[in-house]
Amino acid sequence: MLKNVLCGLLSLSTLLGAALTSKANDGDLPKIPREFRSAWIATVANIDWPSKRTLTTEQQKAELINILDTSVQMNLNSLVFQIRPMCDALYQSDLEPWSEFLTGAMGKAPDPYYDPLEFIIEESHKRGIELHVWFNPYRARHTSSRGEVASNHVSKTKPGIVREYGKYLWLDPAEEETKRHSLDVILDVVRRYKVDGVHLDDYFYPYKSYANGADFPDEAPWQRYLAGGGTMKRADWRRDHVNDFVERFYRDVKKENPLVKVGISPFGIWRPGVPEGTHTGFDQYSELYADAKLWLNKGWVDYWTPQLYWPIAAEKQSYPILLKWWVEENHEKRHIWPGNYTSQVGGAGKWKPEEIINQVKATRDIEGASGNVHFSMVAFTQNRQGLTDMLREGVYAKPALVPASPWLSDRTPAQPQLKSHRPYFGRETTVSWESSGSDQVRLWVLYRKQRNGPWDYQLIPAAGETKGSLRLPRDTDVAEIAVSAVDFNGTEGPVARRRF
């Protein structure tokens, strides 16, 4: 009797196993959208976080969690977090002091102690969100500063490279010690933290409006250059120093960790009149000494985020016209993820939410552009004029994978091992999967097909785990499951499938 029961159980298990291991053509699976969906988290002047300099540690953490949960709800897949607004640190550093924007006093650590960067990296990765860190390479003091400068601030430890410019302090880009110091700070973070990207914005030489049009006070290094036989014009000499820093920035980050993405978000117009018909009263090439086109042409970035902070209908600064021009300048085929002035919704610019939605659509319509970075996160946490809801229910309704960067790695995650188990008298089937390779998994893509229905998909954060599972009721409508792994470079591996 027992022998017959065991034989029956074995037969059922064998039949079930045969059904579950059948294969099909992967071409019937839905194609997962590839789009960089991000927002800047500005800490300078407490624009986005923390909202005040007097918050407790727990209040600061709660605000970060709210930012992250809002990002998940609206299907963002990355964030750009400012950690060095003025030669200070919103993380534990032996090179620069704690930021006054964090604790109210430069050099003062959080109490109770925590490391905000470590915290947001861990919480971001739990949610499947990339965390990029944003540095200001030259600004040493901002006009919103209120307290005393800490004794270990660069203006105290290396005063010879710091210049007063209007109400700002600025590292002199022409000083070699400036380059070494800023690169040391950046590489220290890349070395110690599991960041997904490093990011610079548009601040190279300062905007002349900061000092009523005065020339930058770099007479000392300029005279040294001339005394050494230098022949360049002063403007070209300044640009050459910024170019040197940008090239070294890319090269040195790649030496430290080839998979960390390098991004820059320059002013959105390279020069007035380029492309033809474009007009602006500002020229970053001659004022910031930033030859942004050169950096993109040379491929000294992995992603390019020109700040296209004008509406689509602007005749002389048209969003799609400018974006198309930058795409055409992308000789090395890097990612083009333009920046959008999303805070103008409900702000001084009185933009309507539809402007941002239409800019996202316009980006999608331009081949060679594959995402957006919104300035800034506060517009989403405040849900200005319902913008967050409109994005979540509209253009961001379905989750997307970050576009892969094949020039950083040619590895492909291994096919997961997919298993299923249902006890003979059980009410549920447990479907489990596990990584079968050595690659770290960022996300699992879980595909499900309903009986007589279409496929759908879900992105599941791996959160450091090498396996996952789900349970299906005995009377499930799920006809088939497929699972694939996505690595930290955004590459999706082959799927494993099971039918029911």
Per-residue model confidence as pLDDT tens digits over 174-229 = 999 999 999 999 999 999 999 999 999 999 999 999 999 999 999 999 999 999 99
The predicted-structure confidence for 24-65, as pLDDT tens digits, reads as follows 347 899 999 999 999 999 999 999 999 999 999 999 999 999
> What is the Cα–Cα distance from 414 to 437, expressed in whole angstroms?
5
HEC string of 369-434 equals CCEEEECCCHHHHCCHHHHHHHHHHCCCCCCCECCCCCCCCCCCCCCCEEEEECCCCCCEEEEEEE
Strands (DSSP E) contained in 202-334 are 261-264, 303-304
Average pLDDT over residues 86-104: 99
Helix ranges, 257-304 (H): 284-287, 292-298
Residue with the two structure tokens 């102690």: 113
Q: Which stretch of 109-123, 153-167, 474-488 has the lowest confidence by average pLDDT?
A: 474-488
Residue 244 has, within 13 A of its CA and on its CB side, a CA count of: 15
**Dihedral of alpha carbons 57, 62, 67, 72, sign:** positive
* pLDDT exceeds 50 at position 104: yes
| Residue 424, pLDDT score | 62
Q: Output the pLDDT for position 426.
A: 67
276 pLDDT more than 70: yes
Averaged pLDDT score across all residues of the chain = 93
**The model's pTM:** 0.94
Q: Give the confidence band of 425 by pLDDT, cuts at 50, 70, 90.
A: low
The structure tokens listed for 140 are 């040493």
The pLDDT score that the predictor gives to residue 261 is 99
Q: What is the pLDDT of residue 16?
A: 36
| Domains observed in the chain | 2-31+412-499 (2.60.40.10), 36-393 (3.20.20.80)
pLDDT at 465: 85
Distance in angstroms (rounded) separating the CA atoms of residues 332 and 311 = 28
Confidence (pLDDT) at 24? 36
CA–CA separation, 422 and 441 (whole Å): 27
Question: Across the strands, what pairs with 21?
Answer: none
Is the pLDDT confidence value at 305 over 80?
A: yes
CA quadruple 45, 46, 47, 50: dihedral, nearest 10: 170
- Measured between alpha carbons, how far is 381 from 31 in angstroms, rounded to an integer? 30
Q: How far is CA 169 from CA 108, 144, 185, 269, in A?
A: 20, 12, 18, 26
Q: Is the pLDDT of residue 5 over 60?
A: no
Of 115-124, 138-147, 396-405, 464-473, where does mean pLDDT reach its minimum? 464-473
Q: Which DSSP letter does residue 361 get?
A: H
Rounded alpha-carbon distances, angstroms, from residue 216 to 87, 160, 212, 238? 19, 15, 11, 10
Closest CA to 326 of 268, 285, 279: 268
Mean pLDDT within 109-117:
98
Would you say 102 and 48 are in contact if contact means Cβ atoms under 8 Å apart?
A: no
